[in-house]
């Protein structure tokens, strides 16, 4: 299958829902520390792996990144930690932002790669099909944490951020989505 590695990569991306699942037991502060620790350890392993491959980790790292200089998984953990740091006082907002990032972003890439036929205006490498998948799946995830209106606003804004933000979306999606949902819920 042409997109097998990207589908595997996005499946790993979606496992970030574990943060939301364990949040009631670990608490916000511990998840902030866990996210920072995961980013720090991930960067150490990435740097070491560039010089000398590490059994098991090297294969996992190759699966998680598109090129050797990519640090998306590090930004991913930073984005998760920042979501709890900024919105942790409103845990449902933080969790919803993380769910929109983890499963909405993964769904958009998988659907866009497999079924995308209609490019977005000004962004021909992204598709309407992928953006619609982001909205639907992101909405369903966020709906487990916030009301339907806030969930839809978050998923819709997240799809725009994912499609049009030129910087690392693993940080921008949860922060912009979290901020938008927080403001919308006041």
Q: Determine the pLDDT at residue 3.
A: 74
How do residues 91-106 score in pLDDT, each as one tens digit? 999 999 999 999 999 9
Question: What residues of the chain score a pLDDT lower than 50?
Answer: none
Domain limits for position 152: 4-185
- The partner residues of 119 in beta bridges, in order of sequence, read 127
Q: Determine the pLDDT at residue 130.
A: 96
Q: Determine the pLDDT at residue 166.
A: 83
154 in Cβ contact with 174 (< 8 Å): no
**What is the full DSSP assignment across 36-50?**
HHHHHHHHHHHHHHH
Instruction: State the total domains in the chain.
Output: 1
148 in Cβ contact with 134 (< 8 Å): no
Return the sign of the alpha-carbon dihedral for residues 20, 54, 72, 75: positive
Beta carbons within 8 Å of 127's beta carbon, 6+ residues apart: 112, 116, 117, 118, 119, 120
């Amino acid at each position: 299958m042409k997109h097998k590695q990207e589908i595997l990569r996005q499946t790993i991306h979606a496992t970030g829902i574990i943060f939301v699942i364990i949040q009631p037991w670990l608490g916000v502060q511990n998840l902030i520390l866990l996210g920072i620790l995961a980013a720090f350890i991930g960067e150490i392993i990435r740097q070491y792996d560039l010089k000398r491959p590490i059994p098991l980790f090297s294969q996992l790292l190759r699966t998680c990144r598109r090129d050797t200089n990519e640090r998306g998984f590090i930004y991913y953990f930073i984005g998760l930690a920042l979501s709890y740091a900024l919105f942790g006082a409103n845990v449902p907002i933080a969790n919803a932002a993380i769910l929109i990032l983890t499963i909405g972003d993964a769904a958009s890439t998988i659907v866009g790669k497999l079924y995308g036929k209609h490019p977005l205006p000004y962004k021909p490498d992204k598709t309407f099909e992928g953006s619609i998948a982001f909205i639907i799946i992101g909405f369903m995830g966020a709906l487990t944490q916030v009301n339907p209106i806030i969930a839809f606003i978050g998923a819709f804004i997240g799809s725009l951020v994912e499609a049009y933000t030129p910087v690392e979306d693993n940080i921008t999606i949860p922060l912009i989505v979290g901020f938008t949902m927080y403001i919308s819920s006041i």
